[in-house]
Amino acid sequence: MTTRDLGSLQVPAIGFGAMVLSPGVYGDIDDTRAEAALKTALDAGATHIDTSDAYGVDGHNERLVGRAIKGRRDEVVVATKFGLAIPEEEPSRSHPVGYAFNELRVNAEPRLVRRYAERSLRNLGTDVIDLYYVHYPDPGVPIEDTAGAMAELVRDGLVRHIGLSNVTAAQLRAAHAVHPVAAVQNEWSMWRPVDAELLAAARELGVGLVAWSPLGNGFLTGTVRSLPDGDFRHNAPRFSAENLSSNNDRYAPIRDLATRLGISPAQLALAWLLHQDEHVVAIPGSRTPAHIEENLAAADLTLHPDTLARIDEALAKFEVTGGTLL
Ligand SMILES: NC(=O)c1ccc[n+]([C@@H]2O[C@H](COP(=O)([O-])OP(=O)(O)OC[C@H]3O[C@@H](n4cnc5c(N)ncnc54)[C@H](OP(=O)(O)O)[C@@H]3O)[C@@H](O)[C@H]2O)c1
């Protein structure tokens, strides 16, 4: 598969987002299905796996990834995150989110960063994390202090590259001044533009962009008509029954364009993203082997400039109903 650079780290243009493999995200899922999905992803070339200590209960998602990379560690770029799975006795601060259900609590204090990393290394069954992100900036801690603690992990060989997730351009600049940042991971998709200032800063500093939820939590595949029980999207205003229906109607021109091109809407959404910047990488999630293979094939699609212009035109008219998640 085509590769791309995230700072000095090289990864496939399309990786694999493992969040979908823990119960309670997109409804229920058992470990057998989760492990099969990871095996499909790795065998098909999605050798950049994105997880977090906060996905699933008690490191469930990292432990799944750990089992999948056993015996093939050298083939895989393992990315994980810290700051949301906070030890009970520790304080935390609120980060605003658009989800209807609760707030996000963060603790990215420097004194805890090594402890987080050691726990993730144990869960993953490895001695080094290739790309280690702060999951959300801590409103109570200057990001340069968190980055300083992450730099110490690089110095001591626990981590190879550092990343930041859900940050602004100013936060990226502040952290990058402390230690080179390989990647910023923010939401970016056809229905959630990335912040222009952040994109400009990443380009200027040579930082890669990892697009989370590149399929709009499944919406952009054109297949979501209703949600199963236990699916976190019930809390997302864009997916309320009424909004989902009107959003699907408004998304029809993009779905139709994909059909005319002979590709799926998911592939068009991913290929469009990869055409936005040479340093963008997408990490779609899926529990379904056929979807995983379909998504990875999008890495090698070339979209004609006229197609890109038509998409931009359609997106300019695509008014999404329901607020954003973050
Ligand atoms: N840094 C952060 O704060 C943050 C936040 C959210 C997510 N993330 C990362 O981003 C990754 C991806 O995000 P995500 O899982 O939220 O959203 P996503 O990749 O945009 O969408 C996943 C959904 O799309 C469906 N899907 C995938 N490919 C499909 C296809 N070809 N056809 C039909 N349906 C398809 C999946 O269902 P099936 O399982 O049925 O295929 C699943 O319901 C996560 O795993 C995580 O690593 C990071």
pTM for this one? 0.97
Q: Which is the catalytic residue, given 26, 55, 116, 251? A: 55
Calculate how far, in angstroms, residue 217's C-alpha sits from the geometric centre of ligand 1: 5
138 within domain boundaries? yes
109 lines ligand 1 (CB under 6 A): no
What is the spatial distance between Cα 101 and Cα 236, in angstroms, rounded to a whole number? 9
Q: How many CB atoms lie within 10 A of CB 100?
A: 12
3-state secondary structure of 17: strand
Choose one of 291, 292, 293, 324 to mutate for the ligand 1 pocket test, by most ligand atoms within 8 angstroms of C-beta: 291
Mean pLDDT throughout 254-274? 98
Q: Are 207 and 182 within 8 A, CB to CB?
A: yes
| Model confidence pLDDT, tens digit, residues 278-296 | 999 999 999 999 999 999 9
* β pairing state of 159-165 and 181-187: parallel
CATH number at residue 119: 3.20.20.100
Give the CA count within 13 Å in the CB-facing half-sphere of 156: 12
Instruction: Return the residue whose CA atom lies nearest to atom 37 of ligand 1.
Output: 286
* Residue nearest atom 31 of ligand 1, based on CA coordinates: 291
The answer to whether residue 285 is domain-embedded is yes
| pLDDT for 102 | 65
| Any domain includes 35 | yes
55 has catalytic annotation = yes
Percent of the chain with pLDDT over 70: 97
Atom 41, ligand 1: residue with shortest CA distance: 286
Provide the mean pLDDT of the chain: 95
Note whether residue 211 is domain-resident.
yes
Atom of ligand 1 nearest to the CA of 212: 10
**Phi, psi (degrees; rounded to nearest 5) at 176:** -65, -25
In this prediction, residues 180-193 reach a mean pLDDT of 96
pLDDT, tens digit, for every residue of 9-33? 999 999 999 999 999 889 889 999 9
For 62-115, how does the pLDDT look when each residue is reduced to its tens digit (9 = 90+)? 999 999 999 999 999 999 999 999 999 999 999 877 665 567 999 999 999 999
Is the distance from CB of 75 to CB of 45 less than 8 angstroms? no
- The number of folded domains in the chain is 1
| 228 is a domain residue | no
The answer to the question of residue 199 being in a domain is: yes
Confirm whether 257 is domain-assigned: no
Q: Is the CB of 216 under 6 A from ligand 1?
A: yes
> Residue 107: which domain range?
3-219+270-301
pLDDT of 108-161, one tens digit each? Answer: 999 999 999 999 999 999 999 999 999 999 999 999 999 999 999 999 999 999
Asked if the structure places residue 107 within a domain, the reply is yes
Spell out the alpha helix ranges (H) of the chain: 31-43, 60-69, 110-124, 143-155, 169-178, 196-205, 241-261, 265-274, 289-297, 305-317
